[in-house]
């Protein structure tokens, strides 16, 4: 079977924290067309908009992960979390942004503190507010709680109307815990038209963080499934070390060039240098 496919934009996170000027220079020098900006919890609106002005030459999407901000809390903390998340969505809209990735089950939180129906209800509300502001709200799959299970994850997506940020490293962690293996299709195939963003790296190790793929073989099978999601035009290399980022960029270039005969990113190495 063949799939119509257009090359996604390859983005990086704000790897230099809040240094937007340095980030822009690095992105342009190394052929990256976008930034997946992690929003700081206590940053003022003025400061946030100032940073976004500096990034105007790049496409910017947003990522909000903060311990203690949880849409699924079973108590009044969920209301406060929704206030904060709604504020972030509205602020992104002010900056001209169109996408935000959010979570449920993030950080050191007990499942006893969470309520599934509350998660769906609040995510639905956030999605609706996002639509009013022109911002697509996407939910990321994590390594714990409901989003680590493809079936429950899909249920939340279908009931809330949220988009998806598919993290191939988190899925790799979850896959190692399943006897049958290869749960990637269970995440992607039922949701092909809902996947808006992807996080690209090999896997996640507790105490270490995200791990760079040593070779294309490490992530090839996941990329082949991900390419079926034609709606996903945003692949973020979710690594911090610049050498790891550039290495992964080159692996992706090799993948695109060999699989689709697509041109390399400007400023990158040729296939023969891999």
Q: For position 138, which CATH number holds? A: 3.20.20.150
Q: Report DSSP state, residue 114.
A: B
**Within-domain flag for 84:** yes
Residue 240 token pair: 């911090």
**Within-domain flag for 1:** no
| 272 pLDDT tier (thresholds 50, 70, 90) | very low
For 156-180, the pLDDT digits (tens) are: 999 999 999 999 999 999 988 775 6
Pairing of strands 203-205, 209-211: antiparallel
**Residue % of the chain over a pLDDT of 70:** 92
Q: Report DSSP state, residue 180.
A: S
For 134-143, the pLDDT digits (tens) are: 999 999 999 9
- Rounded to two decimals, what is the model's pTM? 0.91
Could you tell me if 198 and 235 are in contact, meaning their C-beta atoms sit under 8 angstroms apart? yes
Beta partners for residue 105, in sequence order: none
pLDDT score, position 260 = 63
The domain tally of the chain equals 1
Q: What is the mean pLDDT of residues 86-91?
A: 97
* Crossing angle between the packed helical segments 20-29 and 45-54, to the nearest 10 degrees: 20
* Enclosing domain of residue 121: 9-273
**Within-domain flag for 4:** no
Beta strands in the chain (DSSP E): 9-13, 34-38, 59-63, 99-102, 136-140, 163-167, 195-200, 203-205, 209-211, 234-237
For 26-73, the pLDDT digits (tens) are: 999 999 999 999 999 889 999 999 999 999 999 999 999 888 899 999
**Could you tell me which residue, 238 or 6, shows the higher pLDDT?**
238
Alpha carbon 235 to chain centroid, angstroms: 8
Beta partners for residue 37, in sequence order: 62
**Within-domain flag for 3:** no
Q: Is the pLDDT of residue 90 over 70?
A: yes
């Amino acid at each position: 079977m063949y799939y119509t496919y257009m090359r996604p934009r390859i983005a990086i996170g704000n790897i230099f924290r809040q240094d937007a000027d340095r980030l822009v220079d690095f992105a342009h020098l190394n052929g990256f067309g976008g930034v997946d900006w992690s929003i700081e919890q206590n940053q003022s609106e003025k400061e946030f908009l100032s940073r976004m002005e500096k990034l105007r030459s790049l496409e910017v999407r947003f990522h909000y992960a903060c311990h203690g901000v949880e849409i699924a809390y079973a108590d009044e903390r969920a209301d406060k979390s929704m206030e904060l998340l709604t504020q972030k969505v509205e602020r992104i809209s002010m900056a001209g942004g169109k996408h935000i990735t959010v979570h449920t089950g993030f950080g050191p939180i007990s499942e006893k503190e969470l309520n599934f129906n509350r998660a769906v209800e609040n995510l639905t509300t956030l999605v609706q507010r996002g639509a009013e502001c022109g911002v697509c709200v996407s939910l990321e799959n994590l390594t714990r709680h409901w989003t680590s299970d493809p079936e429950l994850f899909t249920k939340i997506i279908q009931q809330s109307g949220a988009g998806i940020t598919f993290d191939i490293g988190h899925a790799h962690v979850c896959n190692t815990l399943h006897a049958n293996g290869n749960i990637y299709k269970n995440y992607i195939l039922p949701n092909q038209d809902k996947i808006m963003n992807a996080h690209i790296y090999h896997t996640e190790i507790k105490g270490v963080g995200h791990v760079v793929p040593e070779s294309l073989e490490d992530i090839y099978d996941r990329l082949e499934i991900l390419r079926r999601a034609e709606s996903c035009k945003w692949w973020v290399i979710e690594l911090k070390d610049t050498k790891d980022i550039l290495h992964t960029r080159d692996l992706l270039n090799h993948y695109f060039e060999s699989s689709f005969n697509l041109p390399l990113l400007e400023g990158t190495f040729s296939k023969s240098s891999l």
